[in-house]
Structure 1
Amino acid sequence: MGTQMTEMLKGTLEGIVLAILAKKSAYGYEITAELRERGFTDIAEGTIYALLVRIEQKGLVTVEKVPSEKGPPRKVFTLNDGGRQHLADFWETWNQLVTRIDQLPHTTNELEEK
């Protein structure tokens, strides 16, 4: 993944993870696997775990410890009402941003014509 993609992803990863949790409750590894299935192959598990700590601290998820067959209990994250509102705000902001970006020239030719 290029540097530009990495930087853009930093600003949107929270919303992406909340969107995954809006579909179903999950633990960290499941979220990382889902991201990889969707083409985000360069995201480190540590990045996701740090993000999960932040969204838990913000009160956007409910966390339940579930016994694991291997090792310590897993923390399963479920989007709560605050998280759903935060996700709705994220999509509203995203749509506004996309609309504004779509109004900009997208090619070198368009830039030269201006």
Structure 2
Amino acid sequence: MASTFAAVFEIVSFGAIIVLVVLGLGIIASMMGIFNFAQGEFVLLGAYVTYLAYAHGAPVWVGMIAAPFVVGALGFVLEALIIRRFYAAPIVAMLGTYALGLIIRESVRGLIGGFY
């Protein structure tokens, strides 16, 4: 019974994360008029902020509280410096945010390491 409860909890938790990512994509697309293909990489950064906080001895909940603020601050900086220039051309915005996602993903892989 306990393993069934754990499995159901994991499925519901994963579903909630997917719903949040999809809602984020929809909100960004409707408010900004562009599709942000780097959305998944920002989720990745949030997960790594939580992991790094835990790896340095902080409780997991500290990392979970810090992650939205760290990723949000990085998002504000990247929007002001890079993404704002893409608003005039939606195709360029899609390619630019895809490239930004690649840069974030490969930077994390180079700095922290990756298994794939």
Return the index of the structure with the highest Cα Rg: 1
Structure-1-length-normalised TM-score: 0.32
Bigger helix fraction: 2
